[in-house]
Structure formats: structure tokens, C-alpha cells
Structure 1
């Protein structure tokens, strides 16, 4: 997003690594083709629902079929956190200040930064009109809960597993059995908050891309990550994310992400015009 201020300056805000990014070498091996089995690769029930892999919001396409619960219920439990994580978005942020009574909420808050390292917070979607008054007061307490790492890693595990199942109908090795157990536990949880922690999902090797992605990039490409003399097999999701097909089971298991409360000092408001927006 480019914003031209009244004094003629232009601010360019984009998704960038929060810390110094490290380039990794990933070799693309094979474009994976759609495959539509009769049985759900996750639970073995009749496959009745077309499944986007990765999720459509990340550029996925219909690549396979699952059953309705594994598509919709599992997806609704874990995929919103994946989309928010990839978009550098925080859902339902709360704004508080002495100028406005009570907490005021918005749909989403996007974290963006300039090439010089300055950051900007963009309200995306609907927001309480009183947020403007809270910001104008100069001191604002921002109350946020980041995307849940366990849930978005489970969503990545689901996409990686379904990508692998395009080569073989239903995988039967011990690792695949554990993948299915963790995915079914997430699917059958009573709510998003009740999704169990998956050490398997948290142990995946994951890389993300910040540069723009071509619209014609295939949804699933088998790939190899080269890291410190080792190679790690996995899949690239819509040109955006590399996910390994192996897991470090000893990875620390994190529970639900905690809520963060930050105090912001807001400068003098300045008017500007949005001159361009890129997806």
C-alpha cells in the first residue's frame, strides 16, 4: 500500500519479515496434479466434498476430495489462524484510551512496515467509529491476541498431508497414522479454543515468502529444502509457504497464544491519500 501525505511524502507499507530474514535454498521438483479419491484421505469416510489445497485464501485450488467434516469442520477450526498468520493480521484487536469509555474493537489489524523498518498498523474491515477518537487522544492501549501457532501449524499439516496423498491414495505408515490422529482430534474438538496441541504439527519445518507471487504459480509443488548440508522433503503451497513432510517430534509444544497488551504513543494525525494497493 502506498500513501501520499499532504506534504508530498509517500509511505510504502508492505508485509516484511519482522526480524532480519534469512534466505533458504529450496529446489522445486514436481508439480503435483489433482487427484479425487473415493475415500477421504484423512478419515477414510466417503469423499463427498471438493477440497482446496492450500486454502483458497492462500491461492489454493480444488486438488482433492475429503469428507464434509474434514473439509469444513476441520477447516473452520484451524484455517482462520493460518490466513491471519500469513496476512500478518490480528483478529478482533481492542483499543482503549482515557478519551473513550470501554474497549473499542475492529475486525482485523494488519501489521505492515516500510523498507526503513518503520511499522504501520492498518485497520482492515469494520471498526468502531470511536477508535479514531481513541487514537487522537495520543495514548492508546492496544489489546490483541496473535494467531494461534498450534492451530495454523495444524492447518499447514493438513495441506502438506493432502499434498502427499495426491501421490498415494491413503498413506499407511506410522507417521501418516499420527498425522491423521492429530487432524481428527482437531476436527472433533468442541471449539477452536479446545483444539489439542499437536507436537507433530509444531515440529514441521516451515518457510514463508514475502515477495509477490505469480498468479499462475501451481497450487502444490513437491520441493526440497537445503539446510546446513541436509535436505528436507516437502511441498510449496501456492508459491507462498514451504512445509516439510517430516517433523521434529521433540519440538516444544506451545499452548494457546497469550493476549498481549501494548501501550502506544500516537503522534499528530496527518491526512493522506492511498495511491495504490497490491494484493
Structure 2
């Protein structure tokens, strides 16, 4: 972003988190494949399914039933998209001189190269938020993505990718995957998504570099960590998800604090223009 005072402000959605060094070997692209029955529940496959979700860059690569497509998607995939995009959901702003909290659409978590937190507001913003910003003090509260739910979504799409590559999978492990996905599909709402030790035990590695590792939405890949090589699928060139899980059936739900609360001191306003956006 080019600022009016001549400075250039670089912002990135890449989180300031510990990095994992891993070598990845890309094996082959996974192509479209259509099944007569839903690979997840066995009902007639009537709905085209994006693998992974379209909002991540996925494509229509197979068919599932309406329930597994829409209900399972609405219960777990919103958190996957928020995690992939590094979004704060249900953001609320409070500040001096404004009696109640003001909401905005979800906003991206962003950082400067020095590790300072930043956020960008776009669209129709409540004028009261501008008043808060000009006061010099503001508090931001919101929610971070639910790890269990976005990992259930990753379990769904890694399983579908495996079915596309090898055919609908059989055996006790695949039955367990389908059982967890169907249970998540059939709950009364996304907040009731069941804890899945199987999903939490997946190996998930995210590539935050400027260039994707592959252009295809699904690529079979092997990640070489300190332990044995792990085979799985690379989603949209950026997210590796294993086809195996180191899960403990008795594992308790993760102790996760999804609530974000940030107090900020805001300097004087500076106008600017967005000069470039990296993917």
C-alpha cells in the first residue's frame, strides 16, 4: 500500500507462527471421477461437489448426495475457509464515545514484516467505527476458526481426493472416516459438530509462500518429515493433508480459545492506495 507521506506499507496475511521445514514430493494430479453413489454415505450422488471448496480454488470433481454436499459443507466448511483466508469472524469494535459495540463483516488477520498486527476494513463501514478510530483508542473482539470443524472439512476433502484417486475406499479405517463425517453432517447446527480425534490426528501442513506449489486443485503428494514419509493430497497447491491419522480414540477435545480480544492505540489517519496484492 502506497501512503500519502511517501512510505510503503507491506501487509501480509501470513501468520506469525512457528514454521515447519518439510520436503514435499508431488506424485500425480488427481482428476475428475464420478460415482453412482455418494462416496461418504452411499445415497444416490446427485450434487456436483467442489474438491476442495470453491472459495479455496477447488473445482467440481465428483458428485455427492445433497446432504453431504450442502449440510456437511455448511457445518464445517465455513471454518475451513476462515482458516484458509486467516479471517476474524463476527468482529466487534468498541471505543470511547460510542455506547454499543459495532459490527463489520469478517476481516483478515494481517501483519507487517515487523510482526505488528494490522487489519483492513472494506465495504460499507459503520461511521461510528471511523469515530472510534479517530479517537485513538479501540478494542477489537471476534472469533477465530474452530480447529475441530476445519479439520473435519479437511478430512472430508482428503477422503474425497483419495476416493477420486483409488476408488471408493473400503475397510475399517474408511468406515471410521465416513462415520465421523456423517455424524458431523447430521447434527442440528455447526456449533454442535462432534469432536473428531480422527480429524485432529491428520497431518496438516500449510504453505504460505507467494507461489503455490502446484496449479491443479488436487495433487497426490508425499511429505518428508523427521519421521516416516507421509502420503496424502495437496489441496490447491497450498495445504497438504495426510491420508492417515495418528489419532487417539480417547483424546479429549482441544483446549481452544477462539475468542480474540485486542486493545489498540491508533495514530493519526493516513490515506493511501493499494499498489499491489500478492496471492
When the two structures are superposed, what TM-score results if normalisation uses the length of structure 2? 0.93
The alignment partner of 1:122 has SS state of coil
Structure 2, unmatched stretches of 5+, are none
The alignment partner of 2:155 has SS state of helix
After superposition, the C-alpha distances for 1:210-242 in whole angstroms (9 at most, x for unaligned) are 123459711111111111141111100010100
1:175 corresponding residue in structure 2: 173
Contact (CA 8 Å) 1:149, 1:257: kept in 2 or not? Answer: no
CA RMSD of aligned residues (A): 1.8
Contact (CA 8 Å) 2:85, 2:108: kept in 1 or not? Answer: yes
How do 1:5-24 residues align onto structure 2 when only pairs under 5 Å count? 5-24=3-22
Cα distance in 2, alignment partners of residues 225 and 126 from structure 1: 43
1:243 corresponding residue in structure 2: 241
What is the CA distance between 1:24 and its match in structure 2? Answer: 1.2
1:46 corresponding residue in structure 2: 44
Cα distance in 2, alignment partners of residues 131 and 28 from structure 1: 47
Structure 1, unmatched stretches of 5+, are none
The alignment partner of 1:166 has SS state of helix
What is the CA distance between 1:124 and its match in structure 2? Answer: 4.5
Answer with 20-29 or 179-188: which moved more: 20-29
Cα distance in 2, alignment partners of residues 234 and 124 from structure 1: 37
Contact (CA 8 Å) 1:148, 1:257: kept in 2 or not? Answer: no
Cα distance in 2, alignment partners of residues 91 and 196 from structure 1: 21
Cα distance in 1, alignment partners of residues 121 and 27 from structure 2: 39
Counterpart pick for 1:161 among 159, 162, 167: 159
Contact (CA 8 Å) 2:213, 2:237: kept in 1 or not? Answer: no
Cα distance in 1, alignment partners of residues 17 and 212 from structure 2: 25
Q: Figure out how many residues of one structure are paired with residues of the other and give that number.
A: 277
How do 1:2-81 residues align onto structure 2 when only pairs under 5 Å count? 3-81=1-79
- CA 1:180/1:160 → structure 2, altered by over 3 Å: closer, same or farther? same
What is the CA distance between 1:47 and its match in structure 2? Answer: 0.4
What is the CA distance between 1:78 and its match in structure 2? Answer: 0.8
Structure with the higher strand share, 1 or 2: 1
2:269 corresponding residue in structure 1: 269
Contact (CA 8 Å) 1:204, 1:246: kept in 2 or not? Answer: yes
What is the CA distance between 1:111 and its match in structure 2? Answer: 1.2
2:254 corresponding residue in structure 1: 254
